[in-house]
Amino acid sequence: MLAALNNILFLDIETVSQYATYEEVPEEWKELWSLKAGYLIRNKEVETIESIYNRAAIYAEFGKIICISCGIIHGNGESKKLVIKSFAGHDEKELLLQFTEMLRRWAVDHQKYLCAHNGKEFDFPYLCRRLIINSIRIPPMLNISGKKPWEIAHLDTMELWKFGDYKSFTSLNLLARTLSIPTPKDDIDGKMVGDVYWKEHNLERIATYCQKDVVTVVQIYLRFNGESLINPENIEVK
């Protein structure tokens, strides 16, 4: 699928567990988590239901979204610019409402696309599930129900890199290194987001990390399409 660069919204989400620690989880949810954790524990001598609670962040039933960063390319050629905006906060419903309103306004004309790294397996479905949980209507751009494969306007840089090799998983960091694109992992990584949120209460730091991931996804997509990368001075964060 070849899409005009200006018609793609690049995004990345950051998620955390719904509670800071396993001890804070309500009893009825502890039982549900114990069932889920039972499938996740690989080494019973080291791992416990409590110790792997940090993994709850990657499951929409047990986690929540705290940041969505989006990027749109303006212009073409060497002078093209990237504008980034983040929706971050402790109130997940509010940030989802802000994001979906922006998405609806942005997608009113022309054929628009969404792009994320591993977006089809994580970002897009996670967003849809948390929207339903928060009683928010899924925007047409995200809703794939009843659509034929060629009607779904979702791009995924990890899928593009697979070239049909479905057994391959390539992280954003590894792919960036492979393509000699500056890595975004210069401060925190995904495993640290929970601690930065629950212990440091530093949403700004998480939003900055999320924005760097969006920049990396954009640069990777440009490389895939034989386009020049965006110069750092042409990246604007709103």
pLDDT in tens, 142-163: 999 888 888 899 999 999 999 9
| Strands 81-88, 113-116: pairing kind | unpaired
Percent of the chain, pLDDT > 90?
79
Is the model more confident about 17 or about 166?
Answer: 17
Lowest-confidence pick of 1-5, 60-64, 95-99, 137-141: 1-5
Residue with tokens 């022309």: 110
- pLDDT, mean of residues 72-83: 93
For the sheet containing 154-156, what is the strand order? Answer: 154-156, 113-116, 8-17, 63-74, 81-88, 235-237
This model's pTM is above 0.85: yes
Average confidence score pLDDT of the chain: 92
Q: How far is CA 135 from the centre of its chain?
A: 20
For residue 185, name the pLDDT band (cuts at 50, 70, 90).
Answer: low
Q: In CATH, which of 3.10.620.30, 3.30.420.10, 3.10.20.740, 3.40.50.2300 is domain 5-12+68-237?
A: 3.30.420.10
Percent of the chain, pLDDT > 70?
97
pLDDT at 172: 94
pLDDT at 1: 47
Q: What six digits make up the tokens of 193?
A: 């987001």
Cα 124 from Cα 147, distance rounded (Å): 15
In the chain, where the domains are located: 5-12+68-237, 19-61
Shortest CA distance to 35 belongs to which of 59, 15, 18, 11?
59
- pLDDT, mean of residues 62-71: 98
Q: List, in order, residues 6 or more apart from 41 with CB less than 8 Å away.
A: 47, 48, 49, 52
Is the model more confident about 131 or about 77?
Answer: 131
Q: What six digits make up the tokens of 232?
A: 């750092």
- pLDDT, mean of residues 13-22: 97
Residue 236 has pLDDT above 60, yes or no: yes
